[in-house]
Amino acid sequence: MLLLMYKANESLVHAKNEVSLLDNLCDIAVEVGDYPLVWVASKKPDQRRLVPAAMSGKAKGYPLEVAVTWDDSKLSRSAIGRAVKTGKTVISRDIDSSSNYLPWKDTILKYELKSSVAIPLVIGAEIIGGLVIYSEDEEAFDSEEVQLLEELADDISYGISSMRLEAQLEHQSSVLNSIRKVNRLIVNEKDVDELIKKTAELMTGSRGFGRCLLALTEEGNVTSWHASGFSRSQLLEIESSFESGEIPPILREAMEKKGVISVGGKEYRERCLTVGDSDDLAVFAKGLRVDSNCMGAMAVVIKENLYLSKEERDLFSEIVDDISYAIHKIKLEKSERLLEKRFSSFMDRLPGAVFISDSNLRMTYFNDFASKMFGFKESWIGKDPEENYPGKLGRDILEDDQRTQSGEQIVREERIMAEDGLERVLYVQKFSMPSEGEKPMIGAIALDITSRRMAEIALTRLGKAIDLSINELYVFDPDSMRFLQANRGAIENSGYTLEELRTMTPLDLKLGIERDYFEGILNRLKRDPKSYEIFESIHVRKDGTSYPVEVRLQLHEDEFEHVFVAIVLDITERKKAEESIQRSLESLINTLSYLVETRDPYTSGHQKRVSELSTAIARKLFPDTEVHKDIIESIRVASLLHDIGKSAVPSEILTKPVKLNDLEYDLVKEHSSKGYNILKGVHFPWPIADIVVQHHERLDGSGYPNGLKGEEIRIEARIITVADVVEAMSSHRPYRASLGIEKALEEIARNSGKLYDRMAVNACLEIFKEGFEFTP
């Protein structure tokens, strides 16, 4: 028996694989121990059967002719069945007459077997099978022999464990090599069909897996598929299945469930990808999924002894996830290209020219209006202004672009010769745009204002001709303030006669300013006779009608007298124009706000409601003065545009009905910075871009994008932050229902002074107590 142990250990050292190891050990045991039969039983977990993994001896046909189990049936009463069930060594004698061996009696008699010993093979805490030795002697297997055989079984268990670990590591190394190759493929491939084709080939070509099948689906139908490692007949079988609208059950299950589906043994033979697969195979399958979007499935066929390995499943799962995100990325890039086409289509319909130059000041884009009206040509793309415009015009445009690139915003009128041969007056605005390099790109908008400018010129000429009769001119005494003289324009426009005016003062025209304020102006002019004051007011005619005026007031001194001279312009039309400009600005603001909401319909009206609440808080905090009115207006406008940066976030993420993952949330968090980049080049009377970029900052520095704290955050942004939180929590979102206004107010109250400005929170709570409600 010692010789047996020596040769067994020698075989363990030199064995190359599990099969040769078990065959050699069985042969050694038969040769040295003179046993008629030695075999190693392997468990089949799915069927609770014991099958021979190796056998030797003159009775080696016996294991192939009998059925042995390790369940509770009659077929589990043999020594090996009981040893595997109990985990203990079992010795059976007189097996040719034992009732426990009745199912196999004829076979036992055929091979003249008398006794047996079965020793369980254990790896860790798992019984993987057993070592079975038969003898022709009824009294065989004394305690010393059994002890040595148990040591042999321990050695066999150790050898199997080492071989399996080595095989698994070799296999995982091959799979990791596949992952590296797949990752390189993901980086370089831009076509989805080519990606899945090359992935299937890589998975099998690196010997990581035996076969690989990838299928892409839309609305339950296979739109594209590729396979590798399958025979020609198997490929025809798969193709026929897909063409008939059928998807293999294992793939369909993978698309319906999350995680890896692993099937082996008898279940694999029933659900295999192709008919007639061998018994020793298994399959892994997983849906090609990004979040809730399932784009298809991937399956690989492997050896059965690997499919229960968690590490193997995890490696396969990682590969599928990488492929899924690669497919998603390619599709997203395709969508972006489509979006660019839509952008061009939109820009081509604008009633003005739009053109963009790269950081080297070479033209990269112009819309259809620029082509039709101003003769822009495709050949101009990639060229600078001096190449496209000969002479001084090209040099001037290039100089403008260089100034704009240095940070200056160009706003002016230009005269050019249009494509139709007529001279045109353009209103041109140039502004810098972010680029990938150090220098910015240049964007420009050119509006044809020829008709408006001609009208303005005509009005100017007309105004000069009738200046004395249109503008009002008053002369009044510095001390008594009584009018001394007035021109015809003043008489006709005020409705008073000159005699009536000489009994009146400027205050009798019911100036829209206080007497103290007006007298303060006069006193300043008396102290500095060379200065003048321009201010706006309201005059009331004799008939009671009022009109807005601009007054230019100056003290005139000569050697004879000191008098105040007031030139009064009726600015009714200018006021209307200012109101029109204000409406245009408001329309632009509302349009930009609407563009954001069309990208994210679930938050429709969000910016408007935040603006309502922000403005109400500001009015609560600030007194009703001209200075503070300007602050309140800046808060109203900034809150209407605070989420404009979301126009740069993929709509699939904005409308996602479940919680975002970390990568997606980071993309959404960029919208503050994106909003700043969009708005910083647009001229507003207020620092709108600075306010927008700070609306997600928090007092304790936990906000983004710059982690500002306390007073580093503008008061306007702190007010919008409070309103944004209240509106967002009280409104429905794709991934949750409304939390209600009470929860929202509890949130800002709980974090007042920590995350949110205390004054803004108090004002917000107060206006809700007073009955504030969002406009539906």
Summarize pLDDT for 30-51 with one digit per residue, the tens: 988 889 999 999 987 666 889 9
Task: Calculate mean pLDDT across residues 191-220.
Answer: 83
Looking at residue 468, its pLDDT comes to 54
Q: What CA–CA distance (Å, rounded) separates 604 from 727?
A: 12
Q: What is the 3-state secondary structure (H, E, C) of 164-223?
A: HHHHHHHHHHHHHHHHHHHHHHHHHCCCHHHHHHHHHHHHHHCCCCCEEEEEEEECCEEE
With a cut of 50, say whether residue 129 has pLDDT above it: yes
**3-class DSSP assignment, residue 356:** strand
Looking at residue 584, its pLDDT comes to 59
pTM for the complete prediction?
0.40
Looking at residue 275, its pLDDT comes to 66
Looking at residue 462, its pLDDT comes to 44
Of 32-41, 300-309, 384-393, 424-433, highest mean pLDDT: 32-41
CA 42 to chain centre: 51
pLDDT higher for 623 or 87?
Answer: 87
Burial class (CB in 10 A: 0-12, 13-18, 19+), 318: middle
**DSSP letters spanning 688-726:** HHHHHHTTT--TBS-SSSS--BGGGS-HHHHHHHHHHHH
CB 388 within 8 A of CB 366: no
**3-class DSSP assignment, residue 250:** helix
Question: What tens digit of pLDDT does each residue of 715-730 get?
Answer: 999 999 999 999 989 8
CB 133 within 8 A of CB 38: yes
- Candidates 546, 555, 405; CA nearest to 476 is 555
3-state helix, strand, coil in the chain (%, to 5): 50, 20, 30
Please name the residue that has the structure tokens 């203990």.
Answer: 88
CB 442 within 8 A of CB 432: yes
CB 748 within 8 A of CB 756: yes
Q: What percent of the chain has pLDDT over 70?
A: 89
Looking at residue 124, its pLDDT comes to 86
Task: Calculate mean pLDDT across residues 241-254.
Answer: 87
Q: What is the mean pLDDT of the chain?
A: 84
pLDDT-based confidence at 582, cuts 50/70/90? low
With a cut of 60, say whether residue 517 has pLDDT above it: yes
pLDDT higher for 121 or 1?
Answer: 121
Question: What tens digit of pLDDT does each residue of 631-661 get?
Answer: 998 998 899 888 888 877 777 777 777 788 8
CB 645 within 8 A of CB 692: yes
CB 441 within 8 A of CB 404: no
pLDDT higher for 588 or 315?
Answer: 315
Give the C-alpha distances (Å, rounded to integers) separating 355 from 114, 211, 352, 432: 98, 53, 10, 12
With a cut of 50, say whether residue 463 has pLDDT above it: no
Looking at residue 277, its pLDDT comes to 65
Q: What CA–CA distance (Å, rounded) separates 328 from 310?
A: 27
With a cut of 90, say whether residue 529 has pLDDT above it: no
Phi-psi region of 87 (alpha: psi -120 to 50; beta: other; left: phi over 0): left
With a cut of 70, say whether residue 735 has pLDDT above it: no
> Mutual orientation of helices 626-640 and 572-599 as an angle, nearest 10°?
30
pLDDT higher for 262 or 421?
Answer: 262
